[in-house]
Amino acid sequence: MNESDSPSTVLCAAAERYGLFEALRDGAMARADVEQALDVSRSTAHRVLREFEVQGVVERRDGAYRLTAFGDVVAAEAGRAVDTIGAAQRLSPLLEALTRADGAFDLSKFRSASVTTPTADDPYRPVRQFLAPASDADRIREFDPTVPEPAYQRALAERAGSDLTASILYPPSVVEYLEADGETMLEYARAGDCFDVRVAEVPAFRLVLGDERAYVGGYDDEGTHMRLVVDTDDRGAVEWASEFFDAKWADATPYGEYRDG
């Protein structure tokens, strides 16, 4: 082992060749298998393996290469770093708003989340992600810093009087707009329908909980166009979203009290 190599040097080398580490965690490999895993020439595979042998993360035994005990640790940490940075890249438009919110945000819970972004041919792809829970979920909890899209409001309105239960948190600015807009969720809330509306300031991202799935939407700097929607049924992510929403909901003012006040 070359103890002069710094931990960051070892980690960077492992991250750069992480495909090899993933393969080696499944068992020992012949050099030809290493060439195939890395998709490199024989000479390059030899150089890479020699570098890892010098660092003490790989050893050759009985004609095959395997991870050392130290290599197992490096592989696990490199994998964690690659996964975390990959998730941060995919969620980057949301990170500032999420980390500035009151609830402790754990990025690791969203590593496996689906990310939907707009395209030139379909700029409303992210928005449509919210239509699934609006149309199908038995229970919805949500807040949005901006006025929800008409299509989303229509999808909820069509389910008025059904077995849907919806807890909707609007900031005062959205309430003011909706009150001037006529028949909206506020009208259904006044009628004592399945929509329970409360009023409070909310973070600069959209959160919708539909049954056992969480949807988080990130807006552009002007708060007018959705840049991405992240959705997942990961238990940890759904628990975080539920706890975050419930805390906001508990401190919010019921719409009837807000209107009368």
Total domains present in the chain: 2
CA distances from 68 to 29, 62, 72, 176 (A): 13, 14, 6, 64
Q: pLDDT value at position 167? A: 93
Beta strand 139-143 with 58-61 is unpaired
Based on the domain organization, do 196 and 132 belong to the same domain? Answer: yes
Domain span including residue 192:
92-260
Q: Which two tokens stand for residue 163?
A: 């077995």
Based on the domain organization, do 102 and 28 belong to the same domain? Answer: no
Q: Which of 56, 84, 112 is a domain's end point?
A: 84
Based on the domain organization, do 66 and 104 belong to the same domain? Answer: no
Does residue 2 lie in a domain region? no
Q: Which two tokens stand for residue 102?
A: 């009151």
Q: Is this structure's pTM higher than 0.85?
A: no
Query: Identity (one letter) of the amino acid at 62?
Result: D
Does residue 1 lie in a domain region? no
Based on the domain organization, do 51 and 172 belong to the same domain? Answer: no
d(CA 8, CA 116) in angstroms, rounded, equals: 33
Based on the domain organization, do 251 and 127 belong to the same domain? Answer: yes
Q: pLDDT value at position 145? A: 93
Q: Which two tokens stand for residue 60?
A: 């050759």
Q: pLDDT value at position 234? A: 95
10-residue averages of pLDDT along the chain (261 residues): 76 89 90 87 90 93 93 92 89 88 82 92 91 90 91 83 86 89 67 80 94 92 85 95 95 90 71
Q: Which two tokens stand for residue 245?
A: 């929403």
Q: pLDDT value at position 214? A: 96
Q: pLDDT value at position 231? A: 95
d(CA 14, CA 74) in angstroms, rounded, equals: 7
Based on the domain organization, do 104 and 151 belong to the same domain? Answer: yes
DSSP 113: -
Query: Identity (one letter) of the amino acid at 123?
Result: P
Based on the domain organization, do 102 and 71 belong to the same domain? Answer: no
Q: pLDDT value at position 158? A: 83
Q: pLDDT value at position 53? A: 92
CATH number at residue 109: 3.30.870.10
Q: pLDDT value at position 209? A: 96
